[in-house]
Amino acid sequence: MSTSAQTAAATGRAPAQPDLLTVRGLDVVSGDRTLVADVGFTIRAGERVGLIGESGSGKSLTALSIVGLLPEGVRASGSVRLAGVDHDLVGAGEAAMSRVRGKHVAMVFQEPMTALNPTMRVGRQVAEAMLVHRTQRDRRAAATAAVELLDRVGLPDPQAAARAYPHQFSGGQRQRIMLALALANDPALLVCDEPTTALDVTVQARVLDVIVRGVQERDAAMLFITHDLAVVATVCERVLVMYGGRIVEAGPVREVFTRPRHRYTQGLIEASNLDVDDRGRLATIPGSVPAAGRFPAGCVFRNRCAHATGACAERPPWTDMATGTGYACFHPPTSEARHD
Ligand SMILES: Nc1ncnc2c1ncn2[C@@H]1O[C@H](COP(=O)(O)OP(=O)(O)O)[C@@H](O)[C@H]1O
Ligand code: SF4
Ligand SMILES: [Mg+2]
């Protein structure tokens, strides 16, 4: 069965959705340090794609490049194209990006106060977002739609919630408000950067559920950044594995998680399966993530990889650029692969 047919079988969706987001040759640089290098991937309309990798791998900077919110002093080059937008998002000015952000692509951050205005009632914030992009025709209609949306994301007493300020809510409720803000204009792509990581464990699953439901109801696509491989397995169809500012492996979630082809992916999966080893320690990949822009030449994982050879001093080629499925490793774990 082909990859697209497998995806269709798993999701019930027709296989040939058009490309929505196309990232090619994305570099993010700060001074002389390259923080994201030659990142390329595609997300199809309605597709949910996970982005995983340890802290410092370049996941957030990749996401911020897509929504045009890179921090001061950090520059992107390459290309980020979004269907329905007639210009490249890389290099677009703030005026152009403010027409795209919210309407075509929206982002949910780990920390909701990044996106919320502390001095404005939450109903007004959601309503204003709709008015800016003309999703609602007037203030009255926008106010009504805002309350409906606050209800949809599961805020109790949405009428009262609309009149309250962000600081009057718990962390989980604020995350729901930020989601309402992100979904206010029905964006075709929602980018989520560890949206539940800062929340109480008991709240995480409920907030995740409301995010996924919001995306599915709108047939929106999603790029979902998380540390949690189990969440990716539940929520996403495809996964991108990032390390050292590069995508090192990509493919359908089930394929990548049962038969990883990059030694880094293999390490991540082993660390997640064995939460605690026989001495009660947390299992992790040996060594630590190098500082920004200080990854080894050749394979970026070389200084931590038990399988590295002299060949790994060269940059491993990506195996299958055309389909966006593949890996960049000279010695993939084929011998241990499951044959099913
Ligand atoms: N504003 C910045 N200036 C310089 N370096 C940065 C900046 N933001 C992030 N970095 C560095 O870039 C690397 C990638 O960061 P990030 O994308 O946040 O990683 P992740 O989200 O995978 O944890 C990290 O080493 C981080 O320290
Ligand atoms: S290319 Fe070499 S160093 Fe890199 S992950 Fe594969 S085996 Fe390890
Ligand atoms: Mg991050």
**DSSP code per residue over 128-174:** HHHHHTTSSSSHHHHHHHHHHHHHHTT-SSHHHHHHS-GGGS-HHHH
Residue 14: what pLDDT?
Answer: 53
Q: pLDDT digits over 159-203, tens only?
A: 999 999 999 999 999 999 999 999 999 999 999 999 998 898 889
Residue 3: what pLDDT?
Answer: 44
For ligand 2, the distance from its centroid to the CA atom of residue 247, given in whole angstroms, is 13
Mean of the pLDDT values across residues 315-332?
A: 89
Residue 9: what pLDDT?
Answer: 46
312 domain residue, yes or no: yes
318 domain residue, yes or no: yes
Query: Using an 8 Å Cβ cutoff, are 201 and 213 in contact?
Result: no
**Predicted confidence (pLDDT) at residue 302 exceeds the cutoff of 70:** yes
Residue 283: what pLDDT?
Answer: 63
299 domain residue, yes or no: yes
- Give the model's confidence band at 295: pLDDT under 50 very low, under 70 low, under 90 confident, else very high: very high
- Return the amino acid letter for 3: T
With a CB cutoff of 8 Å and minimum separation 6, the contacts of 308 are 299, 301, 302
φ, ψ of residue 278 to 5 degrees: the values are -70, -10
Write out the residues surrounding ion ligand 3, Cβ under 5 A.
60
Q: Is 110 in the pocket of ligand 1 (CB under 6 A)?
A: no
Q: Which of the pair, 197 or 122, is modelled with greater confidence?
A: 122
Give percent above pLDDT 70 in the chain: 90
- Give the model's confidence band at 337: pLDDT under 50 very low, under 70 low, under 90 confident, else very high: very low
Residue 340: what pLDDT?
Answer: 39
Q: Which of the pair, 75 or 288, is modelled with greater confidence?
A: 75
Residue 280: what pLDDT?
Answer: 53
Beta strands in 226-310 (DSSP E): 238-243, 246-252
Q: Is 226 in the pocket of ligand 1 (CB under 6 A)?
A: no
**Predicted confidence (pLDDT) at residue 331 exceeds the cutoff of 70:** yes
Ligand in closest contact with the CA of 318: 2
For ligand 1, the distance from its centroid to the CA atom of residue 144, given in whole angstroms, is 40
275 domain residue, yes or no: yes
Residue 139: what pLDDT?
Answer: 96
**Predicted confidence (pLDDT) at residue 339 exceeds the cutoff of 80:** no
For ligand 1, the distance from its centroid to the CA atom of residue 57, given in whole angstroms, is 8
**Predicted confidence (pLDDT) at residue 4 exceeds the cutoff of 60:** no
Q: pLDDT digits over 151-164, tens only?
A: 999 999 999 999 99
d(CA 311, CA 298): 9
Residue 291, Cβ neighbours under 10 Å: how many? 9
Mean of the pLDDT values across residues 14-26?
A: 87
- Give the model's confidence band at 272: pLDDT under 50 very low, under 70 low, under 90 confident, else very high: confident
- Domain with 274, as residue range(s), is 246-327
Residue 170: what pLDDT?
Answer: 94
Mean of the pLDDT values across residues 66-79?
A: 96
130 domain residue, yes or no: no
Residue 36: what pLDDT?
Answer: 97
For ligand 2, the distance from its centroid to the CA atom of residue 312, given in whole angstroms, is 6
Q: Where are the alpha helices (DSSP H) in the chain?
A: 3-11, 59-67, 94-100, 122-132, 139-152, 158-163, 171-183, 201-218, 229-235, 253-258, 263-273
Q: Is the pTM of this model over 0.85?
A: yes
**Predicted confidence (pLDDT) at residue 5 exceeds the cutoff of 70:** no
Query: Using an 8 Å Cβ cutoff, are 26 and 283 in contact?
Result: no
267 domain residue, yes or no: yes
Mean pLDDT (the chain, rounded): 90
**Predicted confidence (pLDDT) at residue 88 exceeds the cutoff of 80:** yes
Q: For residue 22, list its beta bridge partners.
A: 42, 81
Structurally, the chain folds into a number of domains equal to 1
The mean-pLDDT minimum among 68-77, 115-124, 292-301 falls in 292-301
Residue 6: what pLDDT?
Answer: 47
